């Protein structure tokens, strides 16, 4: 699997996830064997107006490579300037968001609103590829805006024509948000139409799902998202399953708690105790999914304010 000049070591990627896939989480994903990770989406306009604050989201460490910075916006010129600023951080690629369904974003013509305007997509990708000639530019899109306007193939062709080096397809429309089942047939249709690599995304919950998506759609790589929340082992198990055909066991409770506590430590080191503990609450709730007494543990975690308190809650489970 290769995106422009960038060679990936396997076919398992971590999706960009705002509010979730931050630097510590991405480092864990890379440790688990992920071939490529992405930053949370960064506003191109934000980079121009308040560069220091906006570019904070784009920061990454060497332990997260290879990494793509994901940009969102709708003005080709602003996107080009934003991409140039991101390129100075020396990521491995720049990705353009054509999928965010949030009202605040689409109301400005950004994110998944761009699915309704393939010509605009062409202009944006063109402007960005011309602004960052040293890095591959990719896009991440949805199936379409709604069931009445399924146009992923058209948008993907526009992106390819404009110089994109890979396309990721989430098999849901904007109207679906994150509900309903992802339609993998649209991923197959995009793959058939394009010459650049296609990355399949949507409803990958088990290692077997990844193999099924690869076989069913012919896509070149898979991108895991919600399946990895509280379960980064899914990455390692998927890589192993695809390469060896063997299903590794799920982690036991001791392993889960050990990683949850290390994740907490990484968060606190990066963001300080107050923010780190707050950021970890959702992750800890996800790590505890399926654990006996999880509801009570979650309640205590939601009230905890310090790292020590959380260690005291989780340590007895090891
Ligand atoms: C909390 C959360 C945040 C997300 N943030 C982004 C984002 O910043 N950029 C993006 O392209 N997609 C984002 N997504 C979409 C995912 O990358 C992915 O396309 C989607 O979750 C479908 O995959 P899944 O069904 O396996 O979860 C986000 C999804 C979730 C759940």
SS3 67: strand
Q: Could you say which of 34, 86, 100, 219 is catalytic?
A: 100
Q: Give the mean pLDDT of the chain.
A: 97
CA–centroid distance, 17 to ligand 1, in Å, is 5
CATH label, 2-244, candidates 3.20.20.70, 3.75.10.10, 1.10.240.10, 3.40.710.10: 3.20.20.70
| Closest CA to ligand 1's atom 3 | 17
CA–centroid distance, 186 to ligand 1, in Å, is 17
Active site residue 86: no
Domain range annotation of the chain:
2-244, 253-317
The rounded radius of gyration (Å) of the Cα atoms in the chain is 19
pTM for this predicted structure: 0.97
Ligand 1 atom, smallest distance to 170 CA: 19
Alpha-carbon distances of 291 from 225, 284, 295, 313, 316, rounded to whole Å: 21, 11, 9, 13, 13
| Closest CA to ligand 1's atom 14 | 17
pLDDT of 39 reads 98
Please name the residues in contact with 169: beta carbons below 8 A apart, sequence gap of 6 or more: 140, 141, 142, 143, 152, 156, 186, 187, 190, 198, 199, 200, 201, 219
pLDDT of 318 reads 83
pLDDT of 69 reads 98
pLDDT of 294 reads 92
| Closest CA to ligand 1's atom 18 | 225
- Each residue's pLDDT expressed in tens, for the chain with a length of 318 residues: 999 999 999 999 999 999 999 999 999 999 999 999 999 999 999 999 999 999 999 999 999 999 999 999 999 999 999 999 999 999 999 999 999 999 999 999 999 999 999 999 999 999 999 999 999 999 999 999 999 999 999 999 999 999 999 999 999 999 999 999 999 999 999 999 999 999 999 999 999 999 999 999 999 999 999 999 999 999 999 999 999 999 999 999 999 999 999 999 999 999 999 999 999 999 999 999 999 999 999 999 999 999 999 999 998 898
At which residue do the structure tokens 């409770």 appear?
253
CA–centroid distance, 308 to ligand 1, in Å, is 31
253-317 CATH fold: 1.10.1200
| Closest CA to ligand 1's atom 24 | 202
How does pLDDT run across 117-131, given as a tens digit for each residue?
Answer: 999 999 999 999 999
Report whether the peptide linkage leading into residue 179 is cis, meaning its omega lies within 30 degrees of zero: no
How does pLDDT run across 139-195, given as a tens digit for each residue?
Answer: 999 999 999 999 999 999 999 999 999 999 999 999 999 999 999 999 999 999 999
Ligand 1 atom, smallest distance to 201 CA: 23
Helices (H), the chain: 23-31, 44-49, 51-58, 76-87, 103-106, 118-131, 152-162, 185-193, 207-217, 233-244, 253-271, 273-287, 294-303, 307-314
């Amino acid at each position: 699997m290769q995106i422009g000049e960038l060679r990936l070591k396997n076919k398992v990627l971590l999706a960009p996830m705002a509010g979730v896939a931050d630097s510590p989480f991405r480092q864990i994903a890379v440790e688990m064997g992920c071939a490529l990770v992405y930053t949370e989406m960064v506003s191109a306009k934000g980079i121009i107006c308040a560069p220091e604050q906006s570019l904070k989201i784009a920061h990454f460490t060497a332990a997260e490579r290879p990494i793509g910075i994901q940009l969102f916006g709708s003005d080709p010129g602003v996107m080009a300037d934003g991409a140039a600023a991101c390129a100075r951080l020396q990521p491995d690629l720049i990705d353009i968001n054509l999928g965010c369904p949030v009202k605040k974003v689409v109301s400005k013509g950004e994110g998944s609103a761009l699915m309704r305007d393939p010509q605009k997509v062409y202009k944006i990708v063109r402007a960005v590829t011309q602004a960052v000639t040293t890095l591959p530019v990719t896009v991440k899109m949805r199936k379409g805006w709604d069931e009445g306007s399924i146009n992923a193939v058209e948008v993907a062709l526009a992106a390819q024509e404009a110089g994109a080096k890979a396309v990721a397809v989430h098999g849901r429309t904007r109207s679906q948000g994150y509900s309903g089942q992802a339609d993998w047939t649209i991923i197959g249709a995009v793959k058939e139409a394009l010459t650049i690599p296609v990355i399949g995304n949507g409803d990958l919950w088990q290692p077997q799902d990844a193999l099924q998506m690869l076989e069913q759609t012919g896509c070149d790589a898979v991108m895991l998202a919600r399946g990895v929340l509280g379960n980064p082992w899914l990455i390692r198990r998927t890589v192993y399953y695809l390469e060896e055909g063997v299903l590794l066991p799920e982690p036991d409770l001791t392993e889960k708690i050990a990683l949850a506590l290390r994740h907490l430590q990484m968060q606190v080191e990066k963001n300080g105790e107050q923010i780190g503990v707050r950021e970890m609450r959702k992750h800890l709730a996800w790590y505890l999914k399926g654990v006996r007494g999880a509801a009570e543990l979650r309640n205590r975690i939601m009230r905890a304010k310090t790292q020590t308190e959380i260690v005291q809650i989780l340590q007895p489970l090891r």
